[in-house]
Amino acid sequence: MFVRDSRVRMLTILVGLMLLCAAPLLAGPGVYDFTLPSIDGSPTPLAIYKGKVILLVNVASRCGFTPQYSTLESLYEKYKDQGLVILGFPANNFGAQEPGTNVEIKTFCTRKYNVTFPMFSKVSVKGDDTTPLYQFLTQKANPAVAGEIKWNFTKFLVDRNGNVVARFEPQVTPDSPEVVEKVEKLLKQ
């Protein structure tokens, strides 16, 4: 009887371990599964940001919200040493407010707003040509943040485990208490 019970226990433990190991494989795609070209064109896997708190933002150079580059940079400077990274994704989906090339966008961001956080090549965040990352963010990442992007400077907050935990519409500035409190809370985890 003892041998049979120990075999059952051992089998239960093995099945449990197999399920634990398989869980990440069974999970759907996550933020870390995407690779996009940097503003300079080099492939950048988002997996390099594992363990960081990430704020993903679709940006534009000729938008009423463009001055948010300053507050995004301030937020980045204040918290980057604690593990925050801001990722900027230029998009020309709204009012043709990001018509420039990647070189022009980079020059504009660095000269006018002293942007030092990572910037990516221009993407589409809406429509038939939506980049897979933004398809994920708006459709699959988290039902609480799902929905079409309405305008430039929509922000998605990702925890250190790659979970999309919050969405902030363009009117919510990066230095608003709502954003800062959530960022600080995630940085402490």
CA torsion through residues 164, 170, 173, 177, sign:
negative
DSSP H or E run through 60: none
DSSP 3-state assignment of 57? strand
The catalytically annotated residue of 36, 50, 62, 63 is 63
* Residue 21 is among the residues annotated as catalytic for this protein: no
Q: 89 and 55 in contact (C-beta within 8 Å)?
A: no
Q: Which two tokens stand for residue 90?
A: 């230029």
Q: 35 and 72 in contact (C-beta within 8 Å)?
A: no
Q: Which two tokens stand for residue 180?
A: 């800062």
Catalogue the active-site residues: 63
